[in-house]
Amino acid sequence: MTNFNSQNYLKHISLDCVIFGFHENQLKVLLLQMKYSKEWSLPGGFVKNEESFEEAAKRVLQERTGLNNIFLQQFCVFSDPQRSKFNPAVKDLQESGTDPNLEWFSQRFISAGFYALVDFEKVHPLPDFFSDHCEWKALEEIEDLMMDHRKILNKALETLRLQLSYQPIGFNLLPEKFTMPELQKLYETILDKGLDRRNFQRKILSWKILNKLDERKKGGAYKAPYLYEFHLENYNKALKEGFSGSW
Amino acid sequence: MTNFNSQNYLKHISLDCVIFGFHENQLKVLLLQMKYSKEWSLPGGFVKNEESFEEAAKRVLQERTGLNNIFLQQFCVFSDPQRSKFNPAVKDLQESGTDPNLEWFSQRFISAGFYALVDFEKVHPLPDFFSDHCEWKALEEIEDLMMDHRKILNKALETLRLQLSYQPIGFNLLPEKFTMPELQKLYETILDKGLDRRNFQRKILSWKILNKLDERKKGGAYKAPYLYEFHLENYNKALKEGFSGSW
């Protein structure tokens, strides 16, 4: 395997990234398809000897999406002793002949899950060594994933849904200026259910994370909805502290 | 070092537990004091070759508290490459002479933080190999902790506070039957601020996780407050799904 020296990485430790993008009212996830086994997987990687988990995750994301400065969140560590018993990477390496890294990929890995919310339009998906495809899949399109990656994806979604009730969301997923119906649609997509328009608006406005602009959406009907942008100072404060209004 | 064979554990991987108890209106944390360096630390341990993180954390908790079936929650992984550069265990082992485990304790560790909420009354604190004290400390009493354990404790507290807005709390921290003022005091202690009595009661009752009993607190005044217990089915559902009422 080219350019990979397992001496540079910490044994037993890996990471997997659930990269969410929002496009045409669908929540999509960036996936890789492996060359030989054709299995689909989440983008992932290992931690270098002198790297933190966060640095490693940023590096993996940068490699797969071309993006820097992405909001990345650790959400769970997956450590079932059986999880890495059937790693398709091992099979792929075996098919390609004797590889010095076979032992590395055969070991037990404990993997930290990170999720990222990215601007769909700005991503240039790039496959890794094991894969020949890297593409966005809508949640409904995703069937089997390799190893426990389906479980990792589900846990990321569950975390994201819980976080909707105490942290802001939308920056990086929506265009810079957006309408209230667009923001509501994002929440409905993540929660997978319809929300009452007036309750939604009241709740969102009470958090004081939006600036209402003196501008309506272009190309719309006679009464096109007003545009909003995030009040980034309040948004980032709420991201750190939660919505203080809740107590 | 007695009974420790590093061959049985995964390299580079450790865990630290923040064990919270509630006693006399104070939030307390279980800490260990090391024999030689006298530094204070969180209870922690390593992951066996065939163990999950959760199993390892349960084992560590059982060893330090005597308790089984504790609600344990993973909350963050600490992976700063510098964090284990000054591990007092290494110094302790050096003082005690040549020890075959010196190399093990000198390696870089990535540590998963777990927190647990336990019934203060039921715990029998037990020191580990490196420590000669294991005791409860109120948050205000805690000064320096070894390595990044202060950071781990702070992050656990931050997580706990955020969770108060979307998940129930109190089971295992309060007696089986408790009054509304006692429950409010628990929230105020964790949040470190006073709450409005009526708002608190309205909010808590709206979550439908309490059964009001036809019984008042004994030994109280003429108008002693009513007792409540948790509605465990709803409580556990909310623990898993968050308060659905929030959307």
ipTM attached to this prediction: 0.86
In the prediction, which pLDDT does A246 show? 60
Neighbours of A81 (CB within 10 A): 16
Residue A48 Rama label (left phi>0; alpha psi -120 to 50; beta): beta
Taking the C-alpha atoms of residue B19 and residue B67, their distance in angstroms, rounded to an integer, is: 11
Q: Please report where in the chains the tokens 């390609």 appear, as a residue.
A: A96
Using pLDDT thresholds of 50, 70 and 90, give the confidence band for residue A247: low
Spatial distance between the Cα atoms of B29 and B43, rounded to a whole number of angstroms: 10
Contact B67, B61 (CB under 8 A): yes
- At residue A239 the predicted structure's pLDDT band, cuts being 50, 70 and 90, is confident
DSSP helix/strand/coil, B47: strand
Quote the CA–CA distance of A138 and B1 in Å, as a whole number: 53
Task: Provide the CATH topology of domain A170-246.
Answer: Arc Repressor Mutant, subunit A (1.10.10)
Q: How many CA atoms lie within 13 A of A112 on its CB side?
A: 26
Q: In a 3-state reduction of DSSP, which class is residue B121?
A: helix
Chain B residues lying within 8 Å of A155, measured CB to CB: none
Please report the pLDDT score of residue B50 as a whole number.
Answer: 95
Residue A57 near residue A15, CB atoms below 8 Å: yes
**Token code pair at residue A99:** 């590889």
Residue bearing tokens 């360096």:
B37
**Do the Cβ atoms of B183 and B102 come closer than 8 Å?**
no
Taking CA A95 as the corner, what is the angle to CA A89 and CA A99, rounded to the nearest 5 degrees? 70
User: To the nearest whole angstrom, how far is the Cα of A55 from the nearest Cα of chain B?
Assistant: 9
Cβ atoms of residues A43 and A64 within 8 Å? yes
Contact A242 B74 (CB under 8 A): no
Task: Tell me the pTM.
Answer: 0.89
Query: Domain coordinates of chain B in residue numbers?
Result: 6-144, 178-241
Whether the Cβ atoms of residue A234 and residue A228 lie closer than 8 Å to each other:
no
Question: What was the pLDDT predicted at B32?
Answer: 94
| pLDDT confidence of residue B78 | 97
The listed CATH number (3.40.50.970, 3.90.79.10, 3.40.50.2300, 1.10.3720.10) that belongs to domain B6-144:
3.90.79.10
Nearest CA among A217, A212, A190 for reference residue A201: A212
Q: Which class is B178-241 in CATH?
A: mainly alpha
Does residue A244 sit at the B interface (CB-CB below 8 Å)?
no
Is the CB of residue A178 less than 8 Å from the CB of residue A227?
A: yes
Q: Confirm or reject contact between B247 and chain A (CB < 8 A).
A: yes
Interface of A with B in 202-241 (CB under 8 A): none
- What pLDDT score does A27 carry? 92
Length of chain B: 247
Question: 3-state DSSP call for residue B92?
Answer: helix
pLDDT tens, position by position, A42-55? 999 999 999 999 99
Q: What is the pLDDT of residue A223?
A: 78
Instruction: Could you list the beta-strand ranges (E) of chain A.
Output: 9-23, 26-34, 40-41, 44-48, 72-78, 110-118, 131-138, 170-174, 178-179, 210-216, 226-230
CA–CA distance, B76 with B115 (Å, rounded to integer): 10
- The reported pLDDT for the residue numbered B8 is 95
Average pLDDT, chain A: 89
**Could you tell me if A44 and A111 are in contact, meaning their C-beta atoms sit under 8 angstroms apart?**
yes
Task: Please tell me which residue, B222 or A104, carries the higher pLDDT value.
Answer: A104
Series of mean pLDDT values for 10-residue runs along chain B (247 residues): 83 96 91 91 95 95 87 93 87 75 90 92 85 91 94 94 83 89 92 92 92 86 86 88 64
DSSP conformation class of B170: B
Cβ distance B72 to B60 under 8 Å? no
Q: What's the Rg (C-alpha) of chain B?
A: 20
Q: With 0-12 CB in 10 A as exposed, 13-18 as middle and 19+ as buried, what is B244?
A: exposed
Task: Label residue A195 exposed, middle or buried (CB < 10 Å: 0-12, 13-18, 19+).
Answer: middle
Considering only the beta carbons, identify the residue of A11, A50, A74 that sits closest to B11: A11
Interface test with B, best of A48, A55, A76, A165 (most B CBs within 10 A): A165
Q: Write down the pLDDT at residue B87.
A: 84
Long-range contacts (CB closer than 8 Å, 24 or more residues apart) made by B193-199: B193/A247, B195/A247
Q: Is A74 helix (H, G, I), strand (E, B) or coil?
A: strand
Q: Is it the case that residue A94 has pLDDT exceeding 60?
A: yes
- pLDDT of A1 higher than 60: no
User: Chain A: nearest CA to B158, how far in angstroms?
Assistant: 8
Q: Which residues face B137 on adjacent strands? A: B29
pLDDT over threshold 90, residue A91: no
Contact B2, B99 (CB under 8 A): no
CATH architecture, domain A6-163: Alpha-Beta Complex (3.90)
First to last CA, chain A: 54
pLDDT at residue number A8: 95
Amino acid residing at A52: S
Chain B residues near residue A243 by CB distance under 8 angstroms: 165
DSSP code for B194: -
Q: Is A48 helix (H, G, I), strand (E, B) or coil?
A: strand
Lowest model confidence (mean pLDDT) among A14-18, A84-88, B202-206: A84-88
Residue whose entry in the numeric block shows the structure tokens 């898993």: B240
* Whether B196 contacts chain A with CB within 8 A: no
Phi, psi (deg, nearest 5) at residue B65: -120, -15
Q: Do domains A6-163 and A170-246 have the same CATH topology?
A: no
**What is the distance between the alpha carbons of residues B235 and B207, in angstroms, rounded to a whole number?**
9
